Amino acid sequence: MEPTTAPKEMTSRGLLPGIILLLALLALHLVHPNAVETALANGDEEEYGEEDDYGEEAEASELAEGAGSLAWGGGIVATLAFVVYKHAYPRLVRMGIKPPVNMRHALNLHIVVSILLGLAAIYHGYSLRSYAGLVEYVAVGLIILLLVSGLTLRYVKNRHVKAFSRMIHAQRLISIILLIVILIHTATIED
């Protein structure tokens, strides 16, 4: 009997947009638990004086701080998980073990998660730019450099551009510098 193939919506490619949406909603909920109620509110709070400008600024600042925490924690976990899996995958295949996720899907997940976390980090930096110093600008520059080089690797077809992007994106030194800069940032921020 021939194995049947799953319908498109049941394959990993068909599930990817749903997974991305769920991850984005989860991230939004972690950063701002009342985001759904806030988004669906009809604006009556201002009419009845329940919210003032300070409350909105404090809420925006909390959201920006949460986005930074999400980007930091999620970035460490997601990047380390991808690097470990990238090195373990060929060894598992050589040992005859079928990995649960093929490398292509792991790379796609790495790209999506990195984009979401990078945007969270950039939102955090942009929202709190009045407190930014040299360390924060270096961090944002390195994050953008890694995002652009990674996206170039994935979506640009020119082999010379890809080679240059691979040279930048695969530099462990850049990631280590980013890690040190963010550690300095988190150690020196004022409460």
Tell which residue, 176, 181, 66, 175, has the closest CA to residue 133. Answer: 181
Global confidence as pTM: 0.66
CB atoms within 10 A of CB 181: 20
Q: What is the pLDDT along the chain (191 residues), one digit of tens a residue?
A: 444 544 444 444 445 555 555 556 555 555 555 554 554 454 555 544 455 555 666 666 888 888 888 888 888 899 889 999 999 999 989 999 888 888 999 999 999 999 999 999 999 988 888 888 899 999 999 999 999 998 888 888 888 988 888 888 888 888 889 999 999 998 888 65
Task: Give dist(CA 89, CA 99) in Å, integer.
Answer: 7
